[in-house]
Amino acid sequence: MNSGPLSHIKVLDLSRILAAPWAGQIFADLGAEVIKVERPGVGDDTRHWGPPYLKDKDNQNTSEAGYFLAVNRGKRSITVSIEKPEGQQIIKDLAMRADIILENYKVGTLSKFGLDEASLRKINPKLIYCSVTGFGQTGPRREQPAYDFLIQAMGGLMSVTGERDGKPGAGPQKVGVPIVDLMTGMYAAVSVLAALARRNETGKGDYIDIAMLDVQVSSLANQAMNFLVSGKVPKRNGNAHPNIQPQDVFSCKDGDVILVVGNDAQFTKLCEVIGLATYASDPSYSTNAQRINNLPALMDLIRAEFLKWERNKIIDALDQAGVPCGPINSVADVFEDPQVKAREMLRNVEHPCGVLLPQVATPMRFSDAQLPECKAPPMLGQHSNDILQELGYGELKIKALKDKGVI
């Protein structure tokens, strides 16, 4: 029996790639039963987005790419050809038992097969049907495909990410993880949970339209509002914060650190630690607005002092003073960090190919609800027989479906 706050919920995940599958993984982490529908013989595109691939017990590459393994833990996989009438019936049978459907097909695709929101909610009015697309169900781009990189560019994120003009390496940069996909998955999950809460009150399902471009525009946050209230177009500023200073990368004798001064009190403590105590009350620097106005001179002062320190010593000194400061960790460093270890963010689970698979744990923690044990992402079609038997399909019918290429 499943545990977790969503252990009573069934999710039919018709999606692939990252944004909507990320939402499905969140639901699985929370204990929901998530059935992932994949194309027979091919599966989710990300199964093949390698190398790297998971290695089996003989140290040979499997067909399981790291990309897929990052987004699909805790799910069950069934292969279904939705182009075939028998496959469409399987989806309808699954939809009858589902609470939630996630899909990210191009606009209009699923209506060709009778698997769109209007069709499936006729047979299950309580369904919460969530469509995730690049541009949404309306507008001139509604039928166009999209990927994270494209939306980072179109949505303004790359215009404020990267070194500022005139500096080495200047130019627009994408974020190092598919942040729009991830944020879209989060917004999808939040929207579905809101619809679930509303269904508890009304007994009715809902239709949710999530667009990656909308998500990115919304996520411009302070940069968007800076523009809207000032009329000034934000520019790339490297690692410096556009509103709060000093926040940047600083070089020490033996490496770089991040400094994050969030208020005037922290600035005073910073100045005391690095030997610039008189500058804390200097009218040119004592408030954040003044520091922004006189930033180049202030940065020269701070950078000169940081160069006198060893990295670990200045981190320790500022930690004790309550000023946020830390190393720039590699991904390998992250999993060696004592805080990350204490929070058990890395777990090892048994994979069906017979090896232990490392998994980055969910960040969600509950004091009362117990989350389910982490389970490995499924092999392609691993649970097809079991799921069909649960629907009442007999062995002969399942065999016939396999012979026809339906599953």
Give me the pLDDT at residue 264, please.
96
pLDDT digits (tens, 9 = 90+) for 178-198: 999 999 999 999 999 999 999
Strand order in the sheet with 33-38: 76-79, 33-38, 10-13, 100-103, 128-133, 206-211
Identity of the amino acid at 367: S
- Decide if pLDDT at 250 tops 80: yes
Residue range 10-218+342-403 forms a domain whose CATH class is: alpha beta
Supply 105's token pair.
């097909």
Q: Using an 8 Å Cβ cutoff, are 46 and 24 in contact? A: no
Chain centre to alpha carbon of residue 164: 27
Give me the pLDDT at residue 242, please.
87
Give me the pLDDT at residue 2, please.
65
- What percent of the chain stands above pLDDT 70? 100
State the Cα torsion 108-110-113-117 to the nearest 10°: -100
From the list 371, 349, 366, 367, the residue with the least C-alpha distance to 358 is 349
The confidence band for 3, taking pLDDT boundaries of 50, 70 and 90, is: confident
User: Using CA atoms, how far apart are residues 35 and 383, in angstroms rounded to an integer?
Assistant: 9
The confidence band for 17, taking pLDDT boundaries of 50, 70 and 90, is: very high
User: Using CA atoms, how far apart are residues 51 and 64, in angstroms rounded to an integer?
Assistant: 9
Q: Using an 8 Å Cβ cutoff, are 231 and 222 in contact? A: no
User: Could you check whether the bond before residue 327 is cis, i.e. omega within 30 degrees of 0?
Assistant: no
User: Using CA atoms, how far apart are residues 62 and 56, in angstroms rounded to an integer?
Assistant: 6
Place of tokens 């009858």: 96
pLDDT digits (tens, 9 = 90+) for 290-327: 999 999 999 999 999 999 999 999 999 999 999 999 99
Say which residue, 156 or 167, is predicted with more confidence: 156
Give me the pLDDT at residue 263, please.
96
pLDDT digits (tens, 9 = 90+) for 199-248: 999 999 999 999 999 999 999 999 999 999 999 999 999 998 888 999 99
Average pLDDT, the chain: 96
Mean pLDDT, residues 256-274: 96
If one counts every other C-beta atom within 10 angstroms of the C-beta of residue 167, the result is 12
Place of tokens 């471009």: 213
Give 113-116 contacts, CB < 8 A, sequence gap 24+. 113/82, 113/83, 113/88, 114/88, 115/14, 115/82, 115/88, 115/91
User: Using CA atoms, how far apart are residues 160 and 251, in angstroms rounded to an integer?
Assistant: 23
Give me the pLDDT at residue 1, please.
55
If one counts every other C-beta atom within 10 angstroms of the C-beta of residue 200, the result is 8
Identity of the amino acid at 41: G
Q: Indicate the burial class of 330 (C-beta count within 10 angstroms; 0-12, 13-18, 19 or more).
A: exposed
- pTM (predicted TM-score): 0.93
Q: Determine which one of 29, 181, 206, 214 is catalytic.
A: 181
Is 181 noted as a catalytic residue in this protein?
A: yes
Mean pLDDT, residues 34-50: 96
User: Could you check whether the bond before residue 246 is cis, i.e. omega within 30 degrees of 0?
Assistant: yes
pLDDT digits (tens, 9 = 90+) for 66-121: 999 999 999 999 999 999 999 999 999 999 999 999 999 999 999 999 999 999 99
Q: Enumerate the domain spans of the chain.
A: 10-218+342-403, 247-328
- State which CATH number among 3.90.320.10, 3.30.1540.10, 2.20.28.120, 3.40.50.300 fits the domain covering 247-328: 3.30.1540.10
Supply 236's token pair.
């790339």
Give me the pLDDT at residue 294, please.
95
Give me the pLDDT at residue 103, please.
98
- Decide if pLDDT at 381 tops 70: yes
